Amino acid sequence: MAKTQLTREIEVALHNWNPTNYGGYRADTFRQGFDALEVPVECGTTRSGLVDFVRVQECFTSETKCGTCKLSMYSDEDKDLVMPSIEQWTQEVNCPKDISNWNFRNEPCTERFCRLYKTQHLYTIDTVITCVEIKISVGDFHSDHGHNFVGHCNYYAMPTALYKKVKGEIPDGIGVLIYYDGESTYGIRKKVECKPHQLSEETQKWLIMSVAKKLPRFVKH
């Protein structure tokens, strides 16, 4: 079946949708993810169906904080140039470290009241896979096909008018993204957050491979 204009508009809006949070996963927005349309649930075959839109995005799964020295910004090549100033600064703040050892600036710091103290955030990076099924009508929503929620985070994407009609039928744990095409509001807005699912490494691997196979390919001439 040929795609409707509305379906294509929602696809474009999903591609431009870049939230900072997916179902509790904090997205690493400094690292670009990648997405694809009509991704097979099983890699290499369509027998288990297709997911309308799948995005693979790096995310932060845990965060720890530690104290460091602001002088860590200086490299080994800067030592001779900045050491006189560093000696003065450390004397002013009564720094207990042995600054004759240039590596002192990279050691953890507990002097929280030192003006050279700074808090460093350390993150564990992982991957979050988001699956979105697009629905544009009640009949489409009630179809036996197009409910393939196999990602960490899973959503329906639909117009506001459809959401009002089917919101009581949306399964628990599945999020809802509303598509707006008005003059004042355009694009995707999250209406209902999803509940994240755990995926095995094997499932995650093959789902990422399915997305990768849908990406544009460059042909050498």
DSSP letters along 6-44, please?
Answer: HHHHHHHHHHT---SEETTEEE-TTS--EEEEEEEEETT
Domain locations in the chain as residue ranges: 5-61+129-214, 64-123
Q: In which band, very low, low, confident or very high, does the pLDDT at 1 lie, cut at 50, 70 and 90?
A: low
pLDDT at 80: 82
Return the pLDDT at 155: 98
Of all residues in the chain, what percent are helix, strand and coil, respectively (each to 5)?
A: 30, 35, 35
Confidence of residue 217 (pLDDT cuts 50, 70, 90): low
Q: Which residue did the predictor score with more confidence, 218 or 5? A: 5
- Residue pLDDT, tens place only, 23-63: 888 888 888 889 999 999 998 888 999 999 999 999 988 77
The model's pTM is 0.76
Q: What confidence tier does 162 reach under pLDDT thresholds 50, 70, 90?
A: very high
pLDDT band at 193 (very low <50, low <70, confident <90, very high): very high
